[in-house]
Amino acid sequence: MIGGDEAVQHDWSGGAAAPASNPDGAWPRGRFGMVAFLASEFAFFSTLIVAYLKYEGQDRVGPTPQHSLHLGLAVLNTGFLVASSVTIAFAAKSLFAHRVGAAARWLALTVALGAAFLATTAYEWHDLIVGQGLTLRTNLFGTTYFTLIGFHAAHVTIGLIVMVMLLFMLRSPQTRAKLAEPLELTSWYWHFVDGVWIVILMLVYVLSR
C-alpha cells in the first residue's frame, strides 16, 4: 500500500534517509537558490501569459480559443497535477521521516500522474494540429497558445526527469541519505509548475471561452 509507515521496505531496503540538518536555524543555500529560481520563472511565465492575453481575440482568420480548446481535457489535466502535488508532498514528508519505501512509491505515483498530464496534452495537441490545422504559424492564438503551453509542458518534463533520477538514487544506500532536501526542493518546483497550470486553466481555457 502506498504511503506505508515501514522504515525500509522491499526493493528499497538498506539504510534510512536522514533529514537535512541545520543546527543554527539558517536556511540552506539550496533553498535560497530555489526561491530565486522560482522568482525568475514567475516573471517568465507572467510574460507569456500577458502576451497571450494581449493578443487573444485579435485574430480574423483561423481557429479561435472559443472553438478549439478542450475544457474537459484541461480539467482532467488539472486533476492529474493537483493529485501529483499531493503525492510529491507525501513523498518528501516520508523521506524526512526515514520511510524510504513509502517515499519511493509516492514519488513513482507522482511521476505517473505527470506522465498522464503530458499524454493528455499530446492528445489535445494532436487534435489541434492535425484535426483543426492550428500551429504556431496559423495565427496569433496559435503562436501564443503553443508557446505558453509548450514551455509549461517542457517544465513538467524537466520535473519528471529530475524525479526519475531521484527514484534511482533512492535505491542506493550511499545516496539516499542525502536526498531529503533535494526532494523537498523538487516538490517546491513541482508545486510552482502546478500553480502555473491552474492560472493557465482559468485564463486560457475558461475566460477565453
CB contact set of 135 (below 8 Å; sequence gap of 6+): 129, 142, 146
Q: Classify residue 22: in a domain, yes or no.
A: no
Check whether 151 has a pLDDT greater than 70: yes
Per-residue model confidence (pLDDT) at position 50:
96
Query: Looking at the domain assignment, is residue 44 inside a domain?
Result: yes
Is the pLDDT confidence value at 126 over 80?
yes
Whether residue 150 contacts residue 52, with contact meaning beta carbons closer than 8 Å, is answered with: no
Q: Is residue 19 included in any domain, yes or no?
A: no
In a domain, 20, yes or no: no
% of the chain beyond a pLDDT of 90? 73
CA 12 to the chain's CA centroid: 25
Residue tagged 502506498 (cell numbers): 2
Residue 165 to residue 179: CA distance in whole angstroms: 11
Is 170 inside any structural domain?
yes
Residue 197 lies in a domain: yes
Q: CB within 8 A of 149, min separation 6: which ones?
A: 121, 125, 200, 204
Residue 17 confidence (pLDDT)? 41
How many structural domains compose the chain? Answer: 1
For the segment 42-84, what is each residue's pLDDT rounded down to a tens digit? 999 999 999 999 998 888 788 888 889 999 999 999 999 999 9
Range of the domain at 132: 27-206
Task: Give a yes or no: residue 17 inside a domain.
Answer: no
> Is 77 part of a structural domain of the chain?
yes
Residue 40's pLDDT is 97
- Where are the alpha helices (H) located in the chain, listed in sequence order? 29-55, 65-68, 71-96, 100-126, 140-170, 173-176, 180-200
Q: Is the dihedral of CA 85, 37, 73, 123 positive or negative?
A: negative
User: Beta-carbon neighbour count of residue 43 at 10 Å?
Assistant: 9
- Domain of 104, CATH number, reads 1.20.120.80
Query: Distances in Å between the alpha carbon of 92 and those of 84, 95, 156, 186?
Result: 12, 5, 18, 9
Closest CA to 186 of 99, 107, 105: 107
